[in-house]
Amino acid sequence: MKTRSRWGMPLLLLPVALLALAMLAAACGGGGEEGAEEEGEGEEEEFFLDPNAPVVDVALDEWSVTPTVTAGEAGGITFSATNNGGSDHELVIIKTDTPADELSVTGGKVDEEAAGEVIGEIEEFAAGETVAGTFDLAPGKYALICNIAAHYEQGMHAAFTVE
């Protein structure tokens, strides 16, 4: 049985289709300096997707972060996060020597600045959705976390190693 997205497209083609749409949107955009536009309220964040990067599927549930693999090679890695839970979740990628389950928490959230270097984030998205982004990872140890208030403390974290 082939896995398909809610639009009937094979999930393996989803990153390619998203990249094509992002390139089309960029070509149709107005002039100006790259990065000069600020994200407006209600706009969706666009992610860079490298169709040649290895894909790590990550399941987000109440209350776990479960990547299909826990290690990868340095370079671009596409994290494809699926929210299998009943509430909104996010995926934050932090390079850190601190074990993923021992990050400092303040006010119910991980103190991202104290935790290490935030490499990137797939911002909060709804239950039932899948969002992907490619991130450039150097060799080292990483924590994959959901940093919505109280989610990390309830177990939404996983370790990831890049060799």
Q: For domain 48-162, which architecture applies?
A: Sandwich (2.60)
| Alpha carbon distance 124, 64 (integer Å) | 15
Domain ranges, ordered by start, for the chain: 48-162
Tens-of-pLDDT digits for all 163 residues of the chain? 334 344 444 555 555 555 554 544 444 444 333 232 233 333 445 568 999 999 999 999 999 999 999 999 999 999 999 999 999 999 999 999 999 999 999 999 999 999 999 999 999 999 999 999 999 999 999 999 999 999 999 999 999 999 9
| Alpha carbon distance 57, 3 (integer Å) | 13
Residue 71: its H or E element:
strand 71-72
Closest to 43 (Cα-Cα) out of 160, 159, 130, 123: 123
pTM: 0.73
